């Protein structure tokens, strides 16, 4: 892959992205030209007097549904060459996991559509070939926070973004389960001591302890990961 990974975000609330895209890892990745994030205000593609982007659902029911016309226009107005992958952030989508993150990190251009209200007109997914992606089995007010989570997860796998790329190897979800517990100084805090093996300097024993501790933590916190093997 040559050049920065490009991400276009289509949202009703572009201000949500301002601070996160300036700070920490994301801010440095953008500043160094490794990541190119372009936030687009969906309302600029609504042409009535009130910049309407939602309407009542056919068939009745509570809430409002995001209209297809502004979203189609926003995506079709994007200029650029090459393949783009369109993603609709939605609680009804495929769950974002590290496997999907690795897949998305290989894409040169991502287009993220942030849903709102009761949902998005189904013709957006059908007509734009948008893949629905969810960050978990819960509901938020919109797709902006999920979009930021996706961007950060993907950015960490772009070469050069993380300073010590070796640290990516043993992280949670990089293998078959969670990462092992971590400790730092002081060796004793409020009566809680760091496991002696970590102070031993015996790297073989430390590796063995970490593997066992990671497996134990996975069994306790995420047994579903073991069921998926």
CA distances from 102 to 23, 45, 80, 151, 193 (A): 23, 32, 23, 12, 36
pLDDT for the residue 98: 96
pLDDT for the residue 186: 95
d(CA 45, CA 177): 44
Q: Where are the domain boundaries for CATH 3.40.1280.10 in the chain?
A: 5-155
How would you class 99 by CB atoms within 10 Å of its CB: exposed for 0-12, middle for 13-18, buried for 19 or more? Answer: exposed
Q: pLDDT tens digits for 82-128?
A: 889 999 999 999 999 999 999 999 999 999 999 999 999 999 999 99
Q: Where are the domain boundaries for CATH 1.10.1270.20 in the chain?
A: 172-227
d(CA 6, CA 80): 10
For 5-155, CATH gives 3.40.1280.10
Q: pLDDT tens digits for 176-222?
A: 789 999 999 999 999 999 999 999 999 999 999 999 999 999 999 99
Per-residue pLDDT band for 227 (boundaries 50, 70, 90) equals confident
Assessment of whether the complete model's pTM goes beyond 0.95: no
For 172-227, CATH gives 1.10.1270.20
């Amino acid at each position: 892959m040559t050049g920065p990974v490009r991400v276009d975000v289509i949202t009703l609330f572009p201000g949500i992205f301002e601070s996160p895209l300036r700070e920490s890892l994301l801010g440095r990745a953008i500043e160094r030209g490794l990541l190119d994030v372009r936030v687009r205000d969906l309302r600029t593609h609504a042409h009535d007097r009130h910049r309407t982007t939602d309407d009542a659902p056919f068939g009745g029911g509570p809430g409002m549904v995001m209209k297809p016309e502004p979203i189609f226009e926003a995506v079709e107005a994007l200029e650029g060459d090459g393949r783009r992958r369109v993603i609709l952030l939605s609680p009804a989508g495929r769950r974002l996991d590290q496997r999907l993150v690795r897949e998305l990190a290989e894409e040169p251009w991502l287009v993220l559509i942030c849903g709102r209200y009761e949902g998005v007109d189904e013709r957006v997914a059908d007509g734009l070939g948008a893949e629905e992606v969810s960050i978990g089995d819960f509901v938020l007010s919109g797709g902006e926070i999920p979009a930021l989570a996706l961007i950060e997860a993907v950015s960490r796998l772009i070469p050069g973004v993380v300073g010590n790329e070796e640290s990516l190897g043993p992280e949670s979800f990089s293998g078959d389960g969670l990462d092992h517990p971590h400790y730092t100084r002081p060796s004793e805090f409020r009566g809680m001591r760091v496991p002696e093996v970590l102070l031993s300097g015996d790297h073989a024993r430390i590796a063995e302890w970490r593997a066992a501790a990671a497996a134990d933590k996975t069994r306790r916190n995420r047994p579903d990961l073991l069921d998926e093997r």
